[in-house]
Amino acid sequence: MKFLIKARIPVEAGNKSIKDGSLFTKMNEYFARVKPEALYFTITGGQRTIVFVVDVPSADKLPEYTEALWIGLNAELYWVPVADQKEFAKAEAYFATLRK
């Protein structure tokens, strides 16, 4: 199932990982492993924020997508299930039942 994940990195943890040189190493290793379909860097609430979409094959894989961000960057995570255009089109049959 696809999820949009927003990871907010607290300023202190972000500053520390930039100063010790680990931020880009951690991010590159993480994204090489989880293979996001889309990836954006922004700011929310004054904190460094990463927004990305991943396809999580099963619930037992969730720790692979969360722990590195929690442990490595003390990130605050928000997850939302999402559907791309092709997946949304498959829901047309359901929407048809609502018109009856």
**Domain-by-domain residue ranges, the chain?**
2-98
Please give the average per-residue pLDDT across 10-21, as a whole number: 94
Q: Which amino acid does the sequence have at 65?
A: Y
**How do residues 58-95 score in pLDDT, each as one tens digit?**
999 999 999 999 998 999 999 999 998 988 888 888 88
Residue in 72, 87, 92, 82 with CA at minimum distance from that of residue 13: 72
pLDDT of 13: 93
pLDDT of 100: 73
Mean pLDDT of the chain: 93
- pLDDT-wise least confident of 40-44, 46-50, 82-86: 82-86
Question: Domain 2-98 adopts which CATH fold?
Answer: Alpha-Beta Plaits (3.30.70)
pLDDT at 49 over 90: yes
Instruction: Give the span between the Cα atoms of 73 and 16, in whole angstroms.
Output: 9
Residue in 44, 45, 61 with CA at minimum distance from that of residue 2: 61
pLDDT of 57: 92
